[in-house]
Amino acid sequence: KGKESNRGHALLFSKEHVAAIEQNQQLEQLLSKADLDAELTVFFQPIVNIQSGRTVSFEALARWNSPVLGNVSPAVFIPVAERIGLISELTCTLLRKALATAITWPEEVGLSFNLSTHDISSSDDVATIVGIILSSGMDPRRLDLEITETAMMYDFAQAKAAIEIFKILGCGMALDDFGTGYSSLSQLHALPLTKIKIDRSFVSGLHKNPASYKIVKSLLALSSDMDLDCVIEGVETSEELEVLKKLGGILVQGYYYSAPVAGSEIGRFLPRPELGRKAG
């Protein structure tokens, strides 16, 4: 009936649209009033070298525990924070927390931290982030900063300038979700990156999907030709892992090894301290 009476007129908002808008407004209100220090936590997911079997670093992944909404995914609240101008504060809070945890790890274990579009498109924000890294006491060479292709392309000149600053500091720079954005290979070549992360959409089921297999194979070859490290994201099964081993993949992240866990739980992934030798 509704359809009939609207014939010939533009239907501006469906019920679903209205619900989505209301939900967004609620998210914006709750996030803008949130006690970020209390409600935001950082989880960590191991990145494993599949040749040595060792955990070489952890990616910090934000979690928002809202007293009203419960756990909200970063895929939802990071874009909201960007929209309402809260992302700088959020990034700073998360980075401080992630570094405070990582500083307690053995020196050979690194930390990978996600930056958002806004973080790298403002030189003030870049300076603030540099300040947080320096005052954390963490060696910047243990830190990788991850930026998505999409964020990189938003303002290419600014992104490049930001990456150059972080590189001078000693940080590694990773291109996240590689293959899902719109960067050209020439732009990629112009950025002083150290690492690419192959998006999990190419990894899922690659043992039975020839197209995914070929894409991952090509991206591994590309990263090797460009002297970039390569992390393969979203590995969930032993079938996927076996194929990746045969393709020469080295760094892997995914549920196969572990979902992201709280900072207090990562001891089991860390190299054991040398046990004092017992006689005999």
Among 172, 249, 260, 263, which residue interacts with ligand C2E (rule: CB under 6 A)?
260
AA letter at 149: E
Among 27, 31, 62, 145, which residue interacts with ligand C2E (rule: CB under 6 A)?
62
> d(Cα 228, Cα 223) in Å, to the nearest integer?
5
239: which residues sit within 8 A by CB, 6+ positions away?
207, 208
The entry of Mg ion, ligand C2E, none that residue 255 binds, CB within 5 to 8 Å by partner kind: ligand C2E
CB of 235 to Mg ion, least distance (A): 12
The entry of ligand C2E, Mg ion, none that residue 183 binds, CB within 5 to 8 Å by partner kind: none
> d(Cα 181, Cα 183) in Å, to the nearest integer?
6
Q: Which stretch binds ligand C2E (CB under 6 A): 158-166, 185-193, 209-217, 231-239?
A: 231-239
Residue 242: CB atoms within 10 A of its CB come to 12
Q: Which of 165, 105, 116, 172 has its CA nearest to residue 143?
A: 172
Are 251 and 48 a contacting pair, CB within 8 Å?
Answer: yes
The entry of Mg ion, ligand C2E, none that residue 172 binds, CB within 5 to 8 Å by partner kind: none
CB of 61 to ligand C2E, least distance (A): 4
> d(Cα 60, Cα 44) in Å, to the nearest integer?
5
Does 146 contact Mg ion by CB under 5 A?
A: yes
CB of 98 to Mg ion, least distance (A): 12
First to last CA, the chain: 87
The entry of ligand C2E, Mg ion, none that residue 78 binds, CB within 5 to 8 Å by partner kind: ligand C2E
Are 113 and 146 a contacting pair, CB within 8 Å?
Answer: yes
Which residue, 109 or 203, is less far from ligand C2E as judged by CB? 203
CB of 152 to ligand C2E, least distance (A): 13
CB of 176 to Mg ion, least distance (A): 4
Q: Which of 280, 57, 89, 240 has its CA nearest to residue 78?
A: 89
Residues binding ligand C2E (CB under 6 A):
45, 60-62, 73-75, 78, 94, 114-116, 146, 176-177, 200, 233-236, 253-255, 260
Residues binding Mg ion (CB under 5 A):
114, 146, 176-177
